[in-house]
Amino acid sequence: MVDVLLSPDDRFTLDSLTAKRDLIEDSLSTDMRTRVRRVLSWLERARQEEDDKDGAFMFYWIAFEAVYAEWTREAQTQREDFREFFEKAAAADTRNTIRDEVLGDLADTILEVVANPYIFEPFWDCYNGNSDSDDEWQELLISDVERVSVRLEDGDAVESLAAAFERLCVVRNQIFRGEATWNRYVNRSQIEDGTEILAFVVPVLVDLILDKPEVFDRPSRYPSVESDTAETVEDVADYAIAVNVHRRIRDGQERVYSSAEVRKELGLDD
């Protein structure tokens, strides 16, 4: 691990994270270098959206996905996936940054997000007629808020963040799937609270990744393609286009011009 002498407040700025990455970049695997480069690029983009909370949320979420990528396991709920991810992060967090920095500043916001019925899937199941009881979602929400409140009081960062990110995943779905209106007043609280959580948590996770890259290192589903492979791929793409053009010519859907017609059209014989 490489220690960079920064105060806790300075450690999570974009410039500080970039400088820390630069110090250890040569020791990172190819996949990890790519992942860190991607997350820092989306963090930078997110921080340009001070006046657009919807845009900021989207870019911060993409930055989080760059950290969280390929973590999902089959036969697990979304909260179980997040819990497993944050358990790994907390286990690697020897300085207790997640517990002290995140929960210290975000406890109230996390509870507000968990208590928001409009980003609680059982509410929408009931609203859309997919629940056997109209009261079921209320009981589930009250129980979940009580459970997370106790976890927050106990300093349980893992369960608290897993619950919060389960809710933020609903916000993500609403935005990315076109189920929300840009800058509309009715969804301001979840957007603003979600952006606050992401803006705080993602840089902390990046700092942790740079401390313990081996914990988070995993093959990328979409890695950067080497130049020689890219040339081959582009050749295949060109061939596929050529095959399609040949088919259209064969089927009479596209006309073939003679060299004389081309010269005439371009005025080369004038």
Same domain, 154 and 82: yes
Supply the pTM of this predicted model.
0.80
Q: Cα separations (Å) of 66 from 32, 34, 71, 99?
A: 10, 9, 11, 22
Evaluate if residue 4 carries a pLDDT over 70.
no
Same domain, 46 and 125: yes
Asked if residue 207 is part of any domain, the answer here is yes
Same domain, 63 and 190: yes
Return the sign of the alpha-carbon dihedral for residues 102, 103, 104, 109. Answer: positive
Asked if residue 221 is part of any domain, the answer here is no
Residues 6+ apart with CB under 8 A from 88: 215, 216
Same domain, 197 and 231: no
Residue 256: both structure tokens together: 């073939």
Same domain, 29 and 141: yes
Return the sign of the alpha-carbon dihedral for residues 183, 118, 112, 203. Answer: negative
Q: How far apart are CA 155 and CA 4, in angstroms?
A: 27
* pLDDT the model gives residue 2: 42
Same domain, 256 and 163: no
Look up the domain containing 28 and give its range: 10-216
Burial (0-12, 13-18, 19+ Cβ within 10 Å), 178: exposed
Same domain, 83 and 126: yes
Asked if residue 30 is part of any domain, the answer here is yes
Q: How far apart are CA 137 and CA 115, in angstroms?
A: 12
* pLDDT the model gives residue 211: 92
The predicted model gives 6-25 an average pLDDT of 80
Same domain, 128 and 237: no
- For residue 120, count other CB atoms closer than 10 A to its CB: 22
Same domain, 34 and 163: yes
Asked if residue 175 is part of any domain, the answer here is yes
Q: How confident is the model at residue 1 (pLDDT cuts 50, 70, 90)?
A: very low
Asked if residue 2 is part of any domain, the answer here is no
Asked if residue 65 is part of any domain, the answer here is yes
How many structural domains are present in the chain?
2
Same domain, 129 and 40: yes
Model confidence over 138-188: pLDDT tens digits?
999 999 999 999 999 999 999 999 999 999 999 999 999 998 888 887 778
Same domain, 152 and 236: no
